[in-house]
């Protein structure tokens, strides 16, 4: 069992999982609309399936936010 932080909050993992699986586990419906950092480093989308999350990792889901001017 390992503990990681997702968007600053603790999550306990019962098995070793990849970023792709973590997205599913966190109910992120459209991974295209999220950008991911692990320990402050950007992860390429192509590497989601092969990147394993380790105990103590800090994972951040950065969401595209486009509003501002809005007509």
- Of residues 3 and 42, the one with the C-beta less far from other proteins: 42
- Of residues 16 and 33, the one with the C-beta less far from other proteins: 33
Binding status of residue 10 toward other proteins by CB under 8 A: no
Burial class (CB in 10 A: 0-12, 13-18, 19+), 59: buried
Select the residue interacting with other proteins from 3, 7, 25, 54 (CB under 8 A): 7
Q: How does DSSP classify residue 1? A: -
Coil, helix or strand at residue 19: helix
C-alpha to C-alpha distance for 19 and 11, rounded to whole angstroms: 13
- Binding interface with other proteins (CB under 8 A): 7-8, 27-30, 32-33, 35, 37, 40-42, 44-45, 60, 62-71
């Amino acid at each position: 069992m390992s503990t990681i932080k997702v968007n600053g909050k603790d999550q306990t993992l019962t098995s070793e999982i990849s970023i792709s699986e973590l997205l599913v586990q966190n109910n992120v419906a459209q991974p295209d609309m999220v950008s991911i950092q692990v320990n402050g480093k950007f992860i390429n989308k192509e590497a989601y399936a092969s990147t394993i999350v380790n105990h103590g990792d800090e994972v951040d889901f950065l969401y595209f936010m486009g509003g501002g001017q809005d007509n």
